[in-house]
């Protein structure tokens, strides 16, 4: 059975007019010159690192012809020609990113926060409002990890399926026009070896979504030939089992050469039309591509390619073959093409120089300001000689960067530490202004800075009366999700066992039958692409809840959460957002794999996300409400052992919320503050009852959220009253307990109020052993909490609390 459709099998399209072909040639050579000059800029020390799209120009021009307004790209760092062809990247912007220009106007993709070749369009305006995505060419923000663009691509395509099939979404025309948008992915041939690629291919085939994946195959992955990467040396051969036929749905698989202008146009136009009209996923394997400058500026491909291979790449370079095509078809002569090439080279140099002058000019101004300040300060200081030498050294710095100016000022202020404030005030004031500017340049937008930030959501408490029913905690969540599904058509949930049975703990019980499979959906066992499915859908204006069945399984999707979702707002400096909510469950249960509390891992890797740790399902419902009113991504970790515990049903379900970053005092006390969260709240509460009987008064504070962590100062105020503190949780030693201690010690200035050493109580370093005994000897028990607090009180008052 044939596994590919070659260009001869694809319906022919008429040749483009001469002007269009020559415009394509002009774009191709401009992109090539940008690559060639970019490499030289790195070697001249004007940029840190370079990775370029040379050799991929022709295929990307063809892809641009099939790309329509409203479509999305999720690609990788060699797609510069495509971005130029759709008008979303100028040569000057390209070089601004190479130089790491921090001005979002000069470098709109990342404001200098990403290395070159990382492309993005700005989906939201400066206020955080969504733009008219259907009237734009859209590129999801790139990430470097190989194949990590694929799970998000699945989600971008899945959103089109929802927009087409869910009638309640038809009026959201700023996000979709009847689901006609195609998600276009690009990937290098070697990266198709990654599990993320295969998982995305499988999920797309199951879901039947409008996703076109282009594999740029230049025969190598860094220095390793494709025979080491791919069975049979061909990804299209490997995927033959995914190809659709008359009786079975699957992928359309197309194979085409990277130097074949007409074949490439036909392939991409055919793929785009098929995906757009029929929501059939397509894989285009573009073979015989080249990489003229090798992988990147970090090495030379002459070290690992034979002389024969290098010569073949010169002969079959797509631009060389494009020239041959143009001349042989009588479209233009060699002289005309040489003129276009020369003009393109001049224009690229002009825009490169403009980018450099704009980037370096800003820094040179700062350098001159510092030199002037150092000289004027020197005239009044006893350290005149040293200050003037510092100014001289700074003035001679070749290709100075911002760090040179700032570091010099900091050294000068240290030198002047014994001088009067009046003498060094100009330097200090300049440094203070620059600190604020640099905070914005390099550190802003980790979290939302819009009116939809979680901190801006107005608190609405839960209401009860004497008739409020006691129900299982899961029933509160089920009622909340029911309410939200009815009120907001953008809201949907999906994950393993979520659909038909309503999740393993029944929080979606009966809701698929009520709202349909597009609103409450089952998935395969594929955590990585569950996360990607959610990211892509959230990027297109929907409000997904992606469920990871157990917290321990988060590891499968952690890279997508960390490298993509958590850093999205930051790495676009507020240009894109994906307010995905990840729902999972953990904490107390029995055994190595279903009792996870790896909070330290989450806190370290998911900065940029909200991390909610509700103690019960009422709190969880309130947190979901807050998150759905905000525009920030989040993870909510419910208590595994809390679904069947009884709670009061709030009267204002679906309206009340829980503030983020505001701990709640569960029990007042005067001897010691215990800060905890999640299932440990019940453990500590039981221990506090036992301690009260022997005269120890414990104040219990539920952190509620770990990111953000106590932005209200609740814990510090409590410690001021009790003068002692214990941070308790189920994570490993040095995990979340140490994080909480650091946050309060560094952020709330509590040291002077402590009469005892601050303490932590955590689980053992290993995962919990199975059975109730395993739980008791692995994680903090009531007895552990009692003894730990008693030990602290014994040290404070040994007479009243003698040693045990």
- Could you give the residue numbers annotated as active site? 594
Residue 8, classed as helix, strand or coil, is helix
CA distance 451 to 447: 12
Segment 652-655 long-range contacts (CB within 8 Å, at least 24 positions apart): 652/460, 652/462, 652/463, 653/476, 653/479, 653/480, 653/483, 653/621, 654/479, 654/480, 654/483, 654/484, 654/487, 654/625, 655/460, 655/625
The secondary structure of the chain in percent helix, strand, coil, rounded to multiples of 5, reads 45, 10, 40
Edge-to-edge strands, sheet with 581-586? 520-522, 491-495, 543-547, 581-586, 634-639, 610-612, 705-707
HSE on the CB side for 151, CA within 13 Å? Answer: 29
User: Taking Cα atoms as reference points, which of 344, 300, 297 lies closest to residue 319?
Assistant: 344
Tokens of residue 737, six digits: 């307990």
Measured CA to CA, the distance from residue 33 to residue 13 in angstroms comes to 30
Residue 150, Cα to own-chain centre: how many angstroms? 13
CB atoms within 10 A of CB 518: 18
Tokens at 527, concatenated: 């955590």
H or E stretch including 494?
strand 491-495
Say how many C-beta atoms besides its own lie within 10 A of residue 458's C-beta: 8
DSSP state string for 390-457: HHHHHHT-SS--HHHHHHHHHHHHHHTTTS-HHHHHHHHHHHHHHHHHHHHHHT--SS--STTSGGGS
Question: Pairing mode, if any, of strands 183-188 and 72-74?
Answer: parallel
Distance CA 460, CA 151 (A): 36
Q: Which two tokens stand for residue 490?
A: 């953008």
The DSSP secondary structure of 240-304, one letter per residue, reads GGGB--SSS--BEEEEEETT-HHHHHHHHHHHHHHHHHH---EEEEEES---TT-S-TT--GGGT
According to DSSP, residue 305 is labeled S
């Amino acid at each position: 059975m044939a596994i590919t459709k070659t260009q001869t099998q694809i319906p022919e399209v008429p040749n483009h007019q001469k002007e269009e072909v020559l415009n394509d040639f002009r774009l191709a050579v401009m992109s090539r010159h940008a690559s060639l000059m970019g490499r030289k800029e790195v070697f001249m020390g004007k940029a840190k690192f370079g990775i370029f799209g040379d050799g991929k120009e022709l295929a990307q021009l063809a892809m641009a012809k099939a790309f329509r307004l409203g479509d999305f790209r999720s690609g990788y760092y060699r797609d510069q020609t495509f971005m130029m062809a759709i008008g979303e990247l100028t040569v000057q912007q390209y070089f601004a990113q190479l130089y790491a220009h921090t001005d979002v106007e000069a470098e709109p993709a990342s404001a200098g926060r990403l290395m070159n070749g990382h492309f993005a369009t700005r989906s939201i305006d400066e206020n955080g409002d969504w733009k008219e995505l259907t009237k734009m060419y859209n590129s999801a923000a790139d990430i470097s990890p190989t194949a990590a663009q694929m799970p998000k691509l699945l989600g971008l395509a899945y959103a089109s399926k929802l927009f087409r099939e869910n009638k309640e979404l038809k009026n959201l025309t700023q996000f979709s026009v009847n689901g006609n948008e195609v998600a276009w992915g690009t990937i290098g041939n070697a990266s198709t070896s990654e599990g993320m690629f295969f998982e995305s291919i499988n999920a797309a085939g199951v879901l039947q979504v409008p996703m076109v994946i282009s594999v740029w195959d230049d025969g190598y992955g860094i220095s390793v030939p494709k025979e080491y990467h791919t069975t049979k040396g061909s990804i299209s051969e490997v995927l033959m089992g995914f190809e659709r036929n008359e009786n079975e749905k699957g992928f359309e698989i197309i194979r085409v050469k990277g130097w074949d202008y007409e074949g490439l146009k036909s392939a991409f136009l055919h793929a785009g039309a098929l995906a757009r009209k029929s929501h059939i996923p397509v894989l285009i394997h573009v073979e015989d591509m080249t990489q003229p400058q090798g992988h990147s500026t970090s090495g030379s491909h002459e070290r690992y390619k034979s002389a024969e291979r290098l010569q073949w790449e010169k002969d079959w370079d797509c631009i060389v073959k494009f020239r041959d095509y143009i001349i042989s078809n009588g479209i233009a002569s060699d002289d005309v093409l040489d003129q276009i090439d020369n003009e393109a080279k001049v224009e690229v140099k002009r825009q490169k120089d403009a980018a450099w002058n704009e980037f370096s000019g800003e820094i040179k101004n700062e350098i001159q300001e510092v030199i002037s300040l150092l000289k004027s300060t020197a005239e009044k200081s006893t350290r005149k000689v040293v200050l003037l030498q510092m100014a001289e050294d700074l003035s001679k710095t070749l290709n100075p960067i911002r760090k040179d100016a700032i570091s010099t000022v900091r050294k000068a202020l240290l030198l002047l530490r014994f001088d009067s404030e009046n003498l060094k005030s100009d330097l200090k004031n300049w440094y203070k202004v620059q600190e604020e500017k640099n905070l914005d340049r390099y550190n802003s937008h980790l979290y939302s800075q819009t009116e939809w930030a979680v901190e801006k959501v107005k608190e609405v408490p839960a209401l009860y009366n004497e008739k409020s029913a006691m129900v299982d905690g899961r029933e509160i969540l089920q009622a909340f999700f029911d309410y939200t599904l009815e009120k907001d058509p953008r809201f949907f949930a999906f994950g393993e066992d979520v659909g038909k049975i309503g999740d393993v703990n029944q929080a979606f019980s009966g809701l698929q039958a009520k709202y349909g499979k597009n609103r409450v959906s089952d998935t395969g066992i594929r955590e990585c692409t569950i996360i990607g499915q959610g990211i892509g859908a959230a990027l297109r204006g929907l409000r997904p809840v992606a469920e990871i069945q157990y917290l321990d399984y988060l590891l499968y999707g952690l890279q997508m959460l960390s490298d993509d979702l958590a850093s999205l707002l930051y790495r676009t400096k507020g240009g894109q957002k994906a307010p995905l909510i990840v729902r999972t469950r953990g904490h107390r249960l029995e055994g190595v794999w279903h009792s996870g509390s790896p909070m330290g891992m989450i806190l370290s890797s998911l900065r940029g996300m909200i991390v909610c740790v509700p103690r019960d399902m009422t709190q969880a419902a309130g947190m979901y409400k807050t998150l759905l009113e905000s525009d920030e991504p989040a993870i909510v970790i419910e208590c595994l052992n809390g679904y069947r515990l009884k709670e009061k049903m709030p009267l204002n379900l679906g309206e009340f919320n829980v503030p983020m970053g505001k701990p709640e005092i569960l029990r007042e006390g005067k001897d010691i503050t215990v800060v905890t969260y999640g299932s440990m709240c019940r453990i500590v509460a039981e221990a506090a009852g036992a301690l009260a009987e022997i005269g120890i008064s414990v104040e219990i504070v539920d952190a509620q959220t770990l990111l953000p962590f106590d932005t209200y100062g609740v814990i510090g105020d409590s410690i001021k009253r009790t003068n002692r503190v214990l941070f308790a949780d189920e994570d490993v030693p040095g995990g979340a307990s140490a994080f909480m201690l650091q946050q309060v010690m560094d952020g709330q200035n509590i040291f002077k109020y402590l009469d005892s050493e601050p303490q932590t109580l955590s689980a053992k370093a290993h995962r919990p052993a199975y059975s109730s005994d395993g739980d008791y000897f692995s994680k903090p028990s009531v007895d552990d909490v009692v003894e730990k607090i008693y030990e602290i009180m014994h040290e404070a008052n040994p007479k009243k609390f003698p040693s045990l």
